[in-house]
């Protein structure tokens, strides 16, 4: 039976496949040092030139009945060029004032979780628990001064909740929040992901919609001299297919 057709749809086994396109704006600060020397804490916009929105694509899969398996992934690849207004040390390279610095920031986000779904009819919700993996790669270079690069990865347990409301047959409203705070052997990481979307539901289980998403990532690794406090936020559009039986 297609998604949403039946009074006990919340009790049926579900497969939902979704793709999304997120027009995010990056913000925040990062610091990369080397050989015991701390790097300069740089602002993504003021020091590196990141300010315009970037489009990224991702996908999600949810399957199960009351206990569901949930998998979500997206990656972003950003680049910018900016003339330094102050001396900046990145890893083991120092860029003086007026150096034309080219930089890149790549990130991968993977969530694997189990959801406990409750509810009846038009209102569903529940709790989520699993693991969030974040992989960040950053590089900066300027002609005549060299290139610095850094990589950081973190996996952490996360908990969250979700709500799925269908006030009308063709309208579906979703909200979800997931977060985690993790620290071990001096390495600390924090993650928060919040999203709200409105969907139009078509025939045969197909749906499409739009919403807003915000992700916050904080990390500090004193041994590798890397720390970051980053935010990615902006509107998104999505489309997918759901099936209940």
11 pLDDT tier (thresholds 50, 70, 90): low
CATH number at residue 78: 2.40.128.90
Residue 2 lies in a domain: no
* pLDDT value of residue 52: 85
Domain hosting 198: range is: 9-244
Q: Is the pLDDT of residue 3 over 60?
A: no
The larger pLDDT score, comparing residue 10 to residue 214, is at 214
- Residue 96 CB coordination number (10 Å): 12
Q: Are 151 and 128 in contact (CB under 8 A)?
A: no
Question: Strand 146-168 and strand 187-201: pairing?
Answer: unpaired
Alpha-carbon distance of 174 to 193, in angstroms, equals: 14
Residue 46 lies in a domain: yes
Residues 113-170: tens digit of each pLDDT:
999 999 888 899 999 999 999 998 999 999 999 999 988 888 899 999 999 999 998 9
Residue 177 lies in a domain: yes
* pLDDT value of residue 1: 40
Q: Are 176 and 161 in contact (CB under 8 A)?
A: yes
* pLDDT value of residue 6: 40
Q: Are 45 and 52 in contact (CB under 8 A)?
A: no
Residue 121 lies in a domain: yes
Rounded mean pLDDT, 107-113: 97
Alpha-carbon distance of 150 to 146, in angstroms, equals: 14
Alpha-carbon distance of 38 to 210, in angstroms, equals: 42
Residues 178-220: tens digit of each pLDDT:
999 988 777 889 999 999 999 999 999 999 999 999 999 998 8
Residue 3 lies in a domain: no
Number of domains the chain is built from: 1
The larger pLDDT score, comparing residue 221 to residue 208, is at 208
Residue 48 lies in a domain: yes
Q: Is the pLDDT of residue 239 over 90?
A: yes
Task: Report DSSP state, residue 2.
Answer: B
Alpha-carbon distance of 157 to 155, in angstroms, equals: 7
């Amino acid at each position: 039976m297609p998604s949403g057709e039946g009074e006990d749809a919340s009790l049926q086994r579900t497969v939902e496949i979704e793709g999304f396109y997120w027009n995010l704006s990056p913000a925040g600060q990062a610091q990369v040092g080397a050989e015991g020397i701390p790097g300069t804490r740089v602002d993504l916009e003021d020091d590196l030139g990141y300010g315009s929105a970037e489009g990224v694509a991702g996908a999600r899969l949810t399957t199960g009945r009351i206990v569901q398996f949930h998998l979500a992934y997206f990656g972003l690849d950003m680049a910018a060029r900016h003339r330094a207004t102050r001396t900046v040390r990145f890893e083991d390279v120092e860029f003086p004032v007026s150096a034309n610095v080219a930089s890149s920031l790549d990130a991968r986000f993977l969530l694997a979780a189990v959801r406990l779904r409750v509810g009846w009819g038009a209102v569903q919700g529940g709790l989520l628990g699993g693991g969030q993996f974040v992989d960040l790669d950053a590089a900066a270079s300027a002609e005549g001064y060299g290139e610095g690069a850094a990589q950081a990865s973190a996996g952490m347990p996360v908990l969250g909740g979700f709500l799925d409301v269908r006030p009308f047959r063709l309208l579906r409203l979703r909200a979800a929040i997931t977060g985690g705070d993790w620290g071990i052997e001096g390495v600390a990481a924090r993650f928060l992901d919040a999203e709200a979307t409105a969907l139009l539901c078509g025939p045969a289980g197909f749906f499409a919609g739009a919403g807003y998403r915000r992700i916050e990532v904080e990390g500090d690794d004193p041994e590798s001299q890397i720390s970051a406090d980053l935010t990615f936020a902006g509107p998104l559009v999505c489309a997918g297919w759901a099936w209940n039986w």
